[in-house]
Structure 1
């Protein structure tokens, strides 16, 4: 987590100087309930580091109209053989940090977006999302979003989390499995935000996703359907340059 924040702090001034004179972002902490690993049947509760609504230009709660570009960061927790019985015989995967960019296009209440990130340490592949969401303002304080999202990983990324190498003990039972790159997940997402004041808000998310393609066919996948639930508190930070 410390390394991800360090990357963010280093990248923000460079991106800001090149693209705009103002930058705002929602940062916060919360808890997420999600599968123990991508493809697991059992779930666990883990900390949620929130990075949302990063944008160049004047800060505001409304969706930005037209095209916009912002940084995109991600983190994937480590995966150990002892985390789940289905992982017995697999190699340990270190925590991965991801750095990249996001392009969005807003038209009224609809926003379409695409992101791509490069991984470091745990995986060194490319991953990202492609999706769209619809905004509904229930009141001055309550905002809802509903959307669809596709997840992508190149062959390096998919091999890291869904592949089985000949050297792993699990290969004795299932054999080698080497997934290719491509779309690896599809999800329906719902988000809700309750504004406590102009800068602080409670954020909740429900996601119901499914592993598809080569990822869904992996022998370590116990359950293709992957629901998750998140709840946290965020605060908006604005930087002028």
Structure 2
């Protein structure tokens, strides 16, 4: 709770900067099938906390045109040695909370974006994504997006999830490894949204990504290709400031 309070306090400047504006965001719950940890061979099903389409200004169905700035939030699940035999001898990593900002530029059906977030708890590094997506409206209710995305992280981030400390090298089967910061993943992403009504929708996502750079070269990585599948229900919430 203390960490969540700290995140809320850090988010206040964003809200202050958006004074006298509306803020809307799609929030929801679902399930995701993804690797047990970054670089794992095996997959697992876990809850999906959905945070999508956060924006200042009037809420709408379409992607916002021109430049826009919005909050960016993410949760990275914990990693425990007991989760996978391949992690024997590796230290446990707590759940991480990431808070930052996202800058987007929309031009017609194309939206380019970049985000940066600071981690708390599980990692203390800086991470984010850059990418672009293309929107296709199949009907009044069904919308598809397809896109490409690169993920990155600084050395604190990569060391947390892909590094092997001297102590871990002794306790595990891995050699010592000290990765540098940089691009960590490349992915093709597809998203589909079915609008049940003006505020509620079913959301599905398919991502086929690969670990690259020092992250992909980590001895902890059992499989560079990291696919994921998500399905959930979202509802749009709007707030006036």
Equivalent residues of 1:75, 1:97 under 8 A apart: yes
Deviations along 1:135-158, one digit per CA (max 9) or x if unpaired, are 000000000000000000100000
Q: Which residue of 1 aligns with 2:13?
A: 14
Whole-angstrom CA distance in 2 between matches of 1:33 and 1:204 = 12
Whole-angstrom CA distance in 1 between matches of 2:201 and 2:5 = 24
After superposition, residues 209-224 of structure 1 pair within 5 angstroms as 209-224=209-224
Indicate how the Cα distance of structure 1 residues 199 and 8 shifts in structure 2: closer, same or farther if over 3 A, else same: farther
* Greater Cα shift, 107-116 or 18-27: 18-27
Gaps of 5+ in 1: none
Equivalent residues of 1:186, 1:210 under 8 A apart: yes
Instruction: Measure how far apart 1:6 and its partner are.
Output: 4.6
Q: Which residue of 2 aligns with 1:106?
A: 106
Instruction: Measure how far apart 1:12 and its partner are.
Output: 5.1
Instruction: Measure how far apart 1:37 and its partner are.
Output: 0.3
Instruction: Measure how far apart 1:226 and its partner are.
Output: 0.3
Q: Which residue of 2 aligns with 1:179?
A: 179
Whole-angstrom CA distance in 2 between matches of 1:144 and 1:75 = 25
Equivalent residues of 2:90, 2:172 under 8 A apart: no
Indicate how the Cα distance of structure 1 residues 4 and 143 shifts in structure 2: closer, same or farther if over 3 A, else same: farther
Indicate how the Cα distance of structure 1 residues 172 and 202 shifts in structure 2: closer, same or farther if over 3 A, else same: closer
Is structure 2 residue 75 aligned with structure 1 residue 75?
yes
Q: Which residue of 2 aligns with 1:233?
A: 233
Gaps of 5+ in 2: none
Deviations along 1:56-111, one digit per CA (max 9) or x if unpaired, are 00000101000000000111111011111110100011111101000000000000
Q: Which residue of 1 aligns with 2:197?
A: 197
Instruction: Measure how far apart 1:193 and its partner are.
Output: 0.2
Equivalent residues of 1:65, 1:108 under 8 A apart: yes
3-state SS of 2:214 partner:
helix
Deviations along 1:168-226, one digit per CA (max 9) or x if unpaired, are 15566332100000000000000000000000000000000000111111111110000
Instruction: Measure how far apart 1:16 and its partner are.
Output: 2.6
The TM-score with structure 2 as length reference comes to 0.95
Whole-angstrom CA distance in 1 between matches of 2:178 and 2:160 = 9
Instruction: Measure how far apart 1:10 and its partner are.
Output: 4.2
Q: Which residue of 2 aligns with 1:59?
A: 59
Work out the number of aligned pairs and report it: 240
3-state SS of 1:204 partner:
strand
Indicate how the Cα distance of structure 1 residues 9 and 25 shifts in structure 2: closer, same or farther if over 3 A, else same: farther
After superposition, residues 112-131 of structure 1 pair within 5 angstroms as 112-131=112-131
Whole-angstrom CA distance in 1 between matches of 2:156 and 2:10 = 24
Q: Which residue of 2 aligns with 1:50?
A: 50
